[in-house]
A = this chain, B = another copy of it.
Amino acid sequence: VSEAKTAAILGDGGWGTAMALLLAGQGRPVRLWGYDPAYLREMQRTRENPRFLPGYRLPPEVAFEPDMTRALTQASLVIVAIPTKFLRASLQAAPRAVPEGVPVVSLTKGIEPGTLKRPSEILRDCTGCHAVAVLSGPSHAELVAAGQPTTVVVAARDESVAQAVQDALMTPVFRVYRSTDMLGVELGGALKNVIALAAGICTGLGLGDNALAALITRGLAEIARLGVALGARPETFAGLSGMGDLVVTCISAYGRNRAVGLALAEGKSLAEIEAARLTVAEGVTTAGSALALARSAGVEMPIVEQVVAVLAGEKDPRAAVTELMTREGKAE
């Protein structure tokens, strides 16, 4: 195994760890960085990620590195899977540490509150790196770790960057497609988490699959409306990173945002729900950012609006869903 093939993965959540397994499975050395040195030592000792991806043995190719600069040194591929709200602060620990020309792949799905920047923009700001790519698509980490067939899209402004990432990650069961619509791929990944909160509410209220399918359909329509207004390509939203990721996030038992929606439907408050969770449900923060983006672009996002009101405790989940179902809109 050549040291030159070392990949750095920033973020030791479920998705970062699943990517570590994927790369290690190809015989590639991986340095996994996480913010908590004690937890990294625990993973090193147990060869498992018990909190975020239990049940998968981490092979010897995976090393644990609490120092981000050291994790990045001489890496030939960088993967970033840090939640949006910690992304900028985390990266400031290692300014300009990404080696020149090395692709940096964002798995982070969100929109930064206040700046309304996407993770790829934060990565460019903080690393100075221009070979930034984003990876998205229907890809629950647990299923990728289990080796179940998964297809994703990698988008970069420069197609040669997308190509390099595709070559690095593709396996017979992890299929990687290329795109140059970074904006569309990234927005689809971020915004689907907000619709998944609504899907969890819908399911939690026992409204049935007809209503769920209608919600998913209307959800994609409003995601695409915003995306196109901001300059993304409409066809991206019909693809794996749009419709595909939205569908899996809204139906799968693994979805964190859907799980938060289920709890909201039970009448729990957001504060109670978040206090009981170890993982970050990105949709909670993204909802407000999405609404701000929509307003600045002059686009209507009725589902996102209702989700924001429910999260703020300003509206009862059932009233919110009823309002969505009874909106006027007689021609489709």
By a CB distance below 8 angstroms, the chain B residues around A254 are 209
A187 to chain B, nearest CB (A): 15
Contacting pair B331 A210 (CB below 8 A)? no
For residue A247, CB closer than 8 A to chain B, the reply is yes
Q: A216 contacts the other chain (Cβ, under 8 Å)? A: yes
Cross-chain contact A220 with B238 (CB below 8 angstroms): yes
B238 touches A139 (CB 8 A): no
Judge if A244 is at the interface, Cβ distance under 8 Å: yes
Q: Are A217 and B247 in contact, with the CB atoms below 8 A?
A: yes
Chain B residues with Cβ below 8 Å from A166 are: 330
- State whether B248 touches A220 (Cβ < 8 A): no
Q: Give the residue of B143, B244, B245 whose beta carbon is less than 8 angstroms from that of A208.
A: B143
Of A123-131, A149-157, A279-287, A301-309, the one touching chain B: A149-157
A239-B217 CB under 8 A given contacts A179-B331, A330-B166, A330-B178:
yes
Residue of B nearest to A208 (CB): B148
A177 located at the interface, meaning its Cβ lies under 8 Å from any Cβ of chain B in the complex: yes
Number of A residues near B (Cβ < 8 Å) is 49
Q: Are B238 and A221 in contact (CB under 8 A)?
A: yes
Is A143's CB under 8 angstroms from B244's CB? Answer: no
A210 to B140 alpha-carbon distance, docked (Å): 7
| Contact of A240 with B217 at beta-carbon distance under 8 Å, contacts A209-B138, A247-B247 already known | yes
- For A209, list chain B residues within 8 Å (CB): 138, 140, 143, 248, 251-252, 254
Contact assessment for B138 and A239 in the assembled complex, using a CB-CB cutoff below 8 Å = no
Known: A148-B208, A148-B210, A210-B138. A247 touches B332 (CB 8 A): no
Identify A148's interface contact among B211, B217, B220, B326, CB under 8 A. Answer: B211
User: Does A273 interact with chain B (Cβ within 8 Å)?
Assistant: no
Is A212 interfacial (CB 8 A cutoff)?
yes
A residues with a Cβ closer than 8 A to B are 137-140, 143-144, 146, 148-151, 153, 166, 172-173, 175, 177-179, 207-214, 216-217, 220-221, 224, 238-240, 243-245, 247-248, 251-252, 254, 325-326, 329-332
Which 10 residue pairs of A and B lie closest in terms of their CB atoms, listed nearest first?
Answer: A138-B213, A148-B208, A213-B248, A217-B244, A177-B332, A150-B210, A209-B252, A149-B211, A151-B214, A143-B208
Q: List, sorted by A's number, 9 A–B pairs whose CB atoms are closer than 8 Å.
A: A140-B209, A146-B208, A149-B210, A151-B211, A151-B214, A166-B330, A177-B331, A216-B244, A220-B243
